[in-house]
Structure 1
Amino acid sequence: MTQTLPSAPVHPTPEWARPEKSLLLPAFWVVLMLITGGAVRLGLFVRDSFAAYPTATLLALVLFGLYAVPFCMFVAALDYLEREPPLLLATAFAWGGLVATSISIRGNAAVHNLVAKLASPGLAAEWGSALAGPTVEEIAKALGIVAVVLVARAQVNSVLDGVVYGSLVGLGFQVVEDVVYAVNAVAVAGRGDQVAPVVATFLLRGFLAGLWSHTLFGALAGAGIGYLAVRTERSLFVRVAVAVLAVLGAMGIHFLWNSPLLSLGGGAGIFGDLFVKGIPPLLVILLLVRGVRHREADYYMSQLAALGDRRIATEDELRVLGHGHLRAGARRYAYGRGGVRARRAVRRLQRAQARLAVELSRGAGLPNPAATIAPPVLDTAPDPEAPVAVGVARVPEGLTYAPILGGPAAVRWRDRVLVERGRMLALGHPEATAPLNRTGSVRRVVGGIAVFLTAMIAVGLSLIALGAS
């Protein structure tokens, strides 16, 4: 199998950026101190809120805490082929929720006061959020993405990594900010410890504004900063320009969302903001993320394709493995043919293939003589539910195996792929693919759009009924 390898999104990591060096970096201790200080400030706010409005505060924490779970799962799954360390993902979320919010609370107030003094209180009331939010908040969040790069440079090796960490910084900011807004809404309502303002805030800022709010702003800025960090084949000027434009783009979308521009006002304004100010930027950023994901998938799939071994991955499996909806389709197809065990076998094979591709990329250019050892050869069909014993296999006399590039981890995952392949063969399901069904794909997309629009309209009507207009 001959294939031209795409340009690699993964670049050599400098010695100072190795994971074991993180504790020696001043940036690590600065980030730790800032997160600790932010946690203390948030703890004091929650304590005071509980003292004044215990029921409303608890409901706000529960609602927005649960709200964050599917977003976290979606963002973490963006980079299926090279999962990011949970601790680093939590650090990005904590920066957004604890550090960026702490900076923004005081910074936003300062910008509002400055506009009121230099212009007028009316202008500050109308345009203050549009001026303060994009500048103070986006800069504070962008600093969090930069901090992740400085602390764990070895983990940021593609533009998609920047998207993931930027999204989580934005999500952390969004969740904590929404809790603060919900509690403040209770105070402004002046009706005591009531939950209606919390529910209204949850519907407005969670469902209607949440899909194209700080998470997406952070994703755009993260893509630019990731480009700056990893695309070292480009000139420094180009990389800095891309990063600056990405951050400015996030600021611009944030400005449009916060400004009174294009707002219809009244109850209809909810839907005007939704369709005019929200959906177009959402589509643009989703297309950007899609392009970044496909580029990274092409690179990693080329690592498996270069082995030229159909036992590792067939051509159809390479096509499927690089796309989330095709991976899911292959698992559904396996379930239809062989039930739960077949679906699990396909999932395990896909996971092993992905890990092997990553390990091969990390060892690019490093020949591993040990990889010429024969792969596991199964004397009999394995029990699909038996534990995996990677690296334990009979080596037939005189049999050699095409050498691979990489370290011992690549050899272990190569063996794991072959063991999982044996499990699938034992189930009568030799390939982790599914027949192409364009009609079904179109039907799912149309159905998803219909559900989305219905949910948005229902939420908007609920807000109008609650008096949020």
Structure 2
Amino acid sequence: MTVLVRPAAGQPATPYRQPAFWIVIALLAAGAVRMSQILAKFLNSYPIATVTALGLFALLAVPFWLFVRELDFLEREPTALLVVAFSWGGLVATSVSIPGSTALENLIAKLGSPGLAADWGAALAGPTVEEIAKTLGVVAIVLIARSQVNSVLDGVVYGAMVGLGFQIVEDVVFAIGAVAFAGQGDQVQPVITTFLVRGFLAGVWSHTLFGALAGAGIGYLVVSTDRGWPRRITTAALALFGAWASHVLWNSPLFREGLGNGAVALLAVLVFKGLPPLVLILWLVRRAHDREAEYYVARLQDLDDPELITAGELRALGSGSRRAAARRHAAERAGRKARAAVRHLQRAQAQLAVELSRASGLTDQHHSDVRRHRATLIELGHPEAVEGLRSWRHTASTVGTTVVAIAVLWVALAALGGA
């Protein structure tokens, strides 16, 4: 997929003057009413389990939100639009998918057989309805704020946010469904099990990932104006198909009983079903980020002013890992204040690059911000936000974090495999 970038837009047009804005608001309101009715039933029947599910999955949403938002460090998306995307997934897509998936499963049973519906109904009906409903959320963002979709990476971010909203709300519904299925009253154990399976283990490559893949296609469709419509539509359709196929694989009964019980068997299923789409979207994100970074860093390079950005900082700013390495290097040399100052400087440099891409001439304030953060670094004795040599402390920290993550994952898999 060719990854293109266009100049960042200035302030978006007033959204409430657009018919699409009011249509989106109406759909969000309708979805909120429907999901509120479902939540009220849950609270009436299983109050403790429902509050527990809401708390656990709300906490799960926080790191995912921060991670997705950080994907586009150089040209961040407006928080209001991220909230709209998240709300679309949690309110509109879910309220449509619950009855839609059930209706399609019933159709599969009638046109095929009850056995086909039992084995493959969830794998075919769910992805078909859900991926279309979620992708329409990215389309809604384009309709109300097309100027804010400037790259494929923007489509990835909005698609992931729609998927995240869907995932969190659907997981709460599944958790309470598990409580009802257990038939033991208002108990939290089924909620915790659902949280481990659908949140902790499947969260990495579930709806957030599928939404990001479809969103990449919408981003390409919007940004690639130098390409013909047939190619742009075909690419967007292929991205949506990839999201659908990944979802079908994830929901499919493949290896449901073929690998036995235990942690190893469960891990093998998770890896087989989740790793291919995860690798694909990581590759797309990396490529989209690199192209966007190349575009914006070139705007700063044209300044040829080391007070605003040095050659080493240009190199660091263009890579997420190098930006993080520059912050660690600052912390090791001058403490936590220097780490924070480097992040502030990188943020100011990114904002300056975006403003330069607009060619609006309104860059004086951004120049001042960069110089102010530079002065802070100089006072701390660390004048340049560049990455240092990899230290043994960072290596040890990485190894330790990996070991702890594997241990936690193994304990969760062992507990679930033996259940």
TM above 0.5:
yes
Compute the displacement of 1:168 (Å).
Answer: 0.4
The answer to whether the Cα contact below 8 Å between 1:345 and 1:420 also exists between their aligned partners in 2 is yes
Count of residue pairs brought into register by the alignment: 415
Residue 380 (structure 2) pairs with residue 437 (structure 1): no
Report Cα offsets for 1:150-188 as digits up to 9, x if no partner.
Answer: 111111111111000000000000000000000011111
**Gaps in structure 1 of 5+ consecutive residues:** 1-6, 364-405
Residue 113 of structure 1: which of 106, 113, 116 is its match? Answer: 106
3-state secondary structure, aligned to 1:149: helix
Partner of 1:37: 30
Closer, same or farther in 2 for the Cα pair 1:8/1:51, shift >3 Å? Answer: closer
What does residue range 393-432 of structure 1 map to in structure 2 within 5 Å? 406-408=360-362, 410-432=363-385
Change (3 A) 1:251 1:441: farther
Q: CA deviation at 1:434?
A: 2.4
- Bigger mean CA offset, 270-279 vs 39-48: 270-279
User: Which one-letter code corresponds to 1:126 in the other structure?
Assistant: D
1:278 is matched with: 274
Q: Does the 8 Å contact 2:178/2:190 carry over to 1?
A: yes
Shift of the 138–443 alpha-carbon distance from structure 1 to 2, 3 Å rule, reads farther
Task: Tell me, yes or no, if structure 1 residue 292 matches structure 2 residue 288.
Answer: yes
Q: Is residue 267 of structure 1 aligned with residue 254 of structure 2?
A: no
Check the 8 A contact 1:185/1:198 in 2, yes or no: yes
What is the root-mean-square deviation in Å for CA atoms of aligned residues?
2.1
1:314-353 matched pairs, under 5 angstroms: 314-353=310-349
The CA deviation at 1:280 is 2.6
Structure-2 residue corresponding to 1:196: 189
Superposed CA offset, 1:115-160 (max 9, x none): 1111211110110011112210000001011001111111111111
Q: For residues 99 and 316 of structure 1, what CA distance do their matches in structure 2 show?
A: 46
Q: Which residue of 2 aligns with 1:454?
A: 407
**TM-score of the pair, normalised by structure 2:** 0.94
Q: Which has the higher helix share?
A: 2
The answer (yes or no) to whether the contact 1:59–1:198 under 8 Å persists in 2 is yes
Partner of 2:93: 100
Distance 1:158 1:261, change over 3 A: same
Does the CA contact (< 8 Å) of 1:11 and 1:230 recur in 2?
A: no
1:172 is matched with which residue? 165
2:49 counterpart residue number: 56
Give the whole-Å Cα distance in 2 for the aligned partners of 1:107 and 1:276: 28
Larger mean CA deviation between 290-299 and 164-173 belongs to: 290-299
Please give the alpha-carbon distance, in whole angstroms, between the structure 2 residues aligned to 1:113 and 1:195.
Answer: 31
The 1:64–1:291 alpha-carbon spacing in structure 2 relative to 1, beyond 3 Å, is: same
Question: After superposition, what is the alpha-carbon deviation per residue over 1:418-452, rounded to whole angstroms, capped at 9, x for unaligned?
Answer: 22222222322121112232877776666555444
| Contact 1:262 1:277 survives alignment (8 Å) | no
Structure 1 pair 18–27 and aligned structure 2 pair: CA distance change class (3 A): farther
TM-score (norm 1): 0.84
Mapped to 1, the partners of 2:128 and 2:395 lie a distance apart of: 40
What is the alpha-carbon distance in structure 1 between the residues aligned to residue 398 and residue 114 of structure 2? 47
Q: 1:307 is paired with a residue of what secondary structure?
A: coil
Which residue of 1 is the match for residue 309 of structure 2?
Answer: 313
Shift in CA distance, 154/90, structure 1 to aligned 2, threshold 3 Å: same
- The CA deviation string for residues 22-72 of structure 1, in whole angstroms up to 9 with x for no partner, is 212211111101111111111111111111111111101100011101000
Q: Which moved more, 1:223-232 or 1:18-27?
A: 18-27
Match of 1:46 among 39, 47, 55: 39
8 Å CA contact 1:349, 1:421 repeated in 2: yes
Q: Contact 2:8/2:357 (CA < 8 Å) preserved in 1?
A: no
Q: Distance in 1 between matches of 2:145 and 2:393?
A: 42
Q: What is residue 151 of structure 1 aligned with on the other side?
A: 144
Counterpart residue identity of residue 247, structure 1 = L
2:211, 2:151 → 1: CA distance?
16
Q: Return the letter of the residue paired with 1:361.
A: S
Q: Tell me: CA distance 1:102–1:304, structure 2 relative to 1, closer, same or farther (3 Å).
A: same
Q: Which has the higher contact order (CA 8 A, sep 6+)?
A: 2
**Runs (5+) with no aligned partner, structure 2:** none
The Cα of 1:84 is off from its aligned counterpart by 1.1
Which has more radius of gyration? 1
Q: Does the aligned pair in 1 maintain the 2:72–2:157 contact within 8 Å?
A: yes
Q: Helix, strand or coil for the counterpart of 1:178?
A: helix
* AA aligned opposite 2:141: V
Counterparts in 2 of 1:218 and 1:311: CA distance versus 1, 3 Å: same
Separation of aligned partners in 2, 1:356 and 1:435: 24
Residues 104, 136 of structure 1: 8 Å contact kept: yes
What SS does structure 2 have at the residue aligned with 1:433?
Answer: coil
Letter in 2 for 1:191: Q
Is 1:24 the counterpart of 2:20? The answer is no
Counterparts of 1:219 and 1:330, CA distance in 2: 28
Q: CA deviation at 1:407?
A: 2.2
Q: What is the CA distance between 1:347 and its match in structure 2?
A: 1.9
Task: Please give the alpha-carbon distance, in whole angstroms, between the structure 2 residues aligned to 1:415 and 1:18.
Answer: 21
Q: Deviations over 1:367-422 (max 9, x none)?
A: xxxxxxxxxxxxxxxxxxxxxxxxxxxxxxxxxxxxxxx422x2210122122222
**Whole-angstrom distance in 1 between the partners of 2:416 and 2:199:** 12
1:304 pairs, out of 292, 300, 305, with 300
**CA shift at 1:300, angstroms?**
0.6
Counterpart in 1 of 2:251?
258
Instruction: Tell whether the 8 Å contact from 1:342 to 1:427 is kept in structure 2 after alignment.
Output: yes
Distance of 1:252 and 1:439 partners within structure 2: 43
Check the 8 A contact 1:294/1:322 in 2, yes or no: yes
The residue identity in structure 2 corresponding to 1:339 is G
